[in-house]
Structure 1
Amino acid sequence: MSSQDYKFEGWMGDSPASVNGAMEWREFKPKEWEETDVDIKITHCGVCGSDLHALRSGWGPTNYPCCVGHEIVGIVVRVGSKAEGGIKIGDRVGVGAQGESCLGRKGPCEDCASGNERYCGRHWAGTYDGVFMNGDKSYGGYALYNRTPSHFVVKIPDSIPSAEAAPMLCGGATTYTPLKRDGCGPGKSVGIIGVGGLGHFGILFAKALGADKVVAISRKGNKREDALKLGADEYIATDEDEGWAEKYNRSLDIILSTVSSAKMPLTQYVGLLKVGGTLTQLGNPDDGKLAIPAGALILRGAKLGGSVIGSPGDIRELLALAAEKKIKPWIEERPMKDANQTILDLNDGKARYRYVLVNEW
């Protein structure tokens, strides 16, 4: 298949109003082809909360027009002569939230050289709404085709269905990577704040990594049954369970906060940590800044930090773990033509727990 045999078309957002179900389907121009690139015929694309933030310019001004989607799975249709990773035409591959870093340009920075491409300080291009080093824009996976530098393209294990692999590329990576970094495993107690697209992955991967106890934390009790089915050992409904902060005081080694609200009771959450414990914030609030609970941190010798997505090496690791442990994310497949309704449903909190758009080839 030559580059002339297919068009790059997708759902384009032209203003913040696009998040209200107003994306338009049309052709777009991908980055100029380079011999390090790979073209992918998209079969599946996960729908992430980050897509909503980008469409409405929630984290800063979006460079419209924007085609979102950074949990891409598909079949390789073109491979550059300098592509990495042994990728071949016909391979089933995926692309997560990052499309480029400084690798390959005048030598890698310290972070890229150590496998931390996700923190590259020289150059960082997202899979969508980014700018590549050649000056071209990046367009995401609510589309028919995707072009991405090969370093950020990973092969999908045969045993993982494409619809299940897609949301692992961002949602899964965003939770797996800090759990691994913070030492999740036997002997550890882990709290997951927010039982949603990210939080349900947090439960799945904490159990897969061998945590002794996983506590799911949400405002309401309506997700208790789901959390327990996912593998959580206990559940806290902070708006309904009286005395929860005292009951679980100093009981957790690791906490992942997946919620994107500045209004959460962060001081009480830090109070759940054991001495020396770590709370990692994953959600990036649109509604304000998080206040540092200095007293709670000081009195526990606790650590408050953050984490973003996963580098290609992290994604390969989590896919291998998912294949080994037979991890099954909770997904609902939707036709790509229904992308506008799907983002409305995600914004309304209807997902249980990840939507995946499917191209009907």
Structure 2
Amino acid sequence: MTSPTKFTGWLAHDPSAASGTMTWSTFTPKPFAPTDIDIQISHCGICGSDIHTLRSGWKNTHYPVCVGHEIVGRIVRLGSSVTHLRLGDRVGVGAQAHSCLEPSCDECSGGKEQYCTNMVATYNARYPDGSWSMGGYALHVRVPAHFAVKIPAGIASVHAAPMMCGGLTVYAPLIHNGAGPGKKVGIVGLGGLGHFGILFAKALGCDKVVAISRRRNKVEDAEAMGATGYIATSEDDKWARNHSRSLDLIISTVSSPDMPLESYLRLLRTGGQFIQVGAPEDKLPQMAAFGLIGKGCKIGGSQIGSPKEIEDMLKFAAEKGLKPWVQTRGMKEANKSVVEMEEGKARYRYVLVNEEHGDRAKI
């Protein structure tokens, strides 16, 4: 197995890329370091972060960029300093590709690499050597090996790929905020992230799992995923009153600032927690302080998870037989798939498959 000197993938050149104008082009990856690996990509999930980046929604994107951070494939080149992985290993890479990893760094030494001030995202971010990270809508990707995780044999690559970001983004805050037996959990938004939230909350044994969406058009899907309750906020003008003080934990996956935040807080029991994981391009709405003070609840946030948490999540998913709801698309269909993802057509995650890699894409 070998890797090329130039990589090939879908490049965005300006904000119109979110409308399907990426070009299939070659690009130069970061210089290969002894701590790096090259991965021949078989699968890459499409994440909402990809679209925010393609259109320069969060900040000005550094073009050209190759997006994609839900990557699964086989190692085809191994740096001389890499000892925990082998050529041919099936690995996954999520939204992070680098951190300082210094013992003096509280975040890195504490297993919270995703909060390191020197964190480098898998795409559209600058490495310390000045090169720019490029993602997984491609045939190959190069990343520091610390941020690649082996995929357990019990998980198909097509299921593992969207877990690398979408799954992790909700798994980590569920774990850190006590989701499990005895807890009543609400998941705001029933898209790619939200469907993972329901699947994981159910698998963790929560007493109650409530899907919270604007309309009731996804009730049957939510129940099939494991939801035991459903709140349609645009179809019941008394939903906040009717379900007041019914949940211990709410994970909000929505990426729109147009959210009824104060009403969501009404759903929390005393001491409850509201954790935001979706990242709107605009500010969250204002709220009255008494929404927090009145019952001692808390608002927090969570950013992806560490490599160790990815390992734990994959092991848990394999043990529980957890499978996300995915639709596969050929890598050649990336432009069309991005547009349809933005239109909300995915049920519930698109995964690009590299047919060019033949049998590897079938694993």
TM-score by length of 1: 0.97
Distance in 1, matches of 2:120 and 2:158, equals 25
Question: Secondary structure of 2:201's match?
Answer: helix
Contact 1:11 1:23 in 2 (8 A): yes
Report the equivalent of 2:51: 52
Q: Which runs of 5+ in 1 are unaligned?
A: none
Report the equivalent of 2:337: 342
Give 2:111's match in structure 1, choosing from 107, 110, 115. 115
Report the equivalent of 1:262: 257
**Superposition deviation, residue 2 in structure 1:** 3.9
Letter in 2 for 1:47: I
Aligned ranges for residues 244-259 of structure 1 at < 5 Å? 244-259=239-254
CA shift digits 1:264-311 (9 cap, x unpaired): 100000110001000001111124333244211110100001111111
Give 2:209's match in structure 1, choosing from 202, 209, 214. 214
Contact 1:7 1:145 in 2 (8 A): no
Report the equivalent of 1:91: 89
Contact 2:94 2:164 in 1 (8 A): yes
> Is 1:181 aligned with 2:180?
no
Distance in 2, matches of 1:142 and 1:56, equals 16
**Superposition deviation, residue 197 in structure 1:** 0.2
CA shift digits 1:202-259 (9 cap, x unpaired): 0011111111100000001101111011000010101112421111101100000000
Contact 2:329 2:337 in 1 (8 A): yes
TM-score by length of 2: 0.96
Alignment coverage as a number of residue pairs: 356
Question: Secondary structure of 1:328's match?
Answer: coil
Distance in 1, matches of 2:5 and 2:323, equals 33
Pick which of 293-302 and 147-156 moved more.
Answer: 293-302
CA shift digits 1:121-144 (9 cap, x unpaired): 2x0110000111121110000000
Distance in 2, matches of 1:56 and 1:260, equals 15
Contact 1:102 1:108 in 2 (8 A): no
Distance in 2, matches of 1:278 and 1:64, equals 38
Question: Secondary structure of 2:134's match?
Answer: coil
Letter in 2 for 1:159: G
Report the equivalent of 2:35: 36
Report the equivalent of 1:16: 15
CA shift digits 1:44-71 (9 cap, x unpaired): 0000000000000110111111100000
Contact 1:46 1:357 in 2 (8 A): yes
Distance in 1, matches of 2:104 and 2:96, equals 16
**Superposition deviation, residue 340 in structure 1:** 0.1
Pick which of 49-58 and 292-301 moved more.
Answer: 292-301
Contact 2:5 2:28 in 1 (8 A): no
Contact 2:6 2:29 in 1 (8 A): no
> Is 1:271 aligned with 2:266?
yes
Contact 1:40 1:75 in 2 (8 A): yes
Distance in 2, matches of 1:174 and 1:352, equals 18
- Of all paired residues, the percent bearing the same amino acid is 56
Letter in 2 for 1:100: H
Report the equivalent of 2:361: none
Contact 1:192 1:258 in 2 (8 A): yes
Give 1:306's match in structure 2, choosing from 293, 301, 316. 301
> Is 1:324 aligned with 2:322?
no
> Is 1:153 aligned with 2:148?
yes
Report the equivalent of 1:225: 220
Question: Secondary structure of 1:32's match?
Answer: coil
Contact 2:152 2:315 in 1 (8 A): yes
**Superposition deviation, residue 108 in structure 1:** 4.6
**Superposition deviation, residue 83 in structure 1:** 1.4
Q: Which runs of 5+ in 2 are unaligned?
A: 358-363
Q: Deviating runs (4+, > 3 A) in structure 1?
A: 287-290
Report the equivalent of 1:282: 277
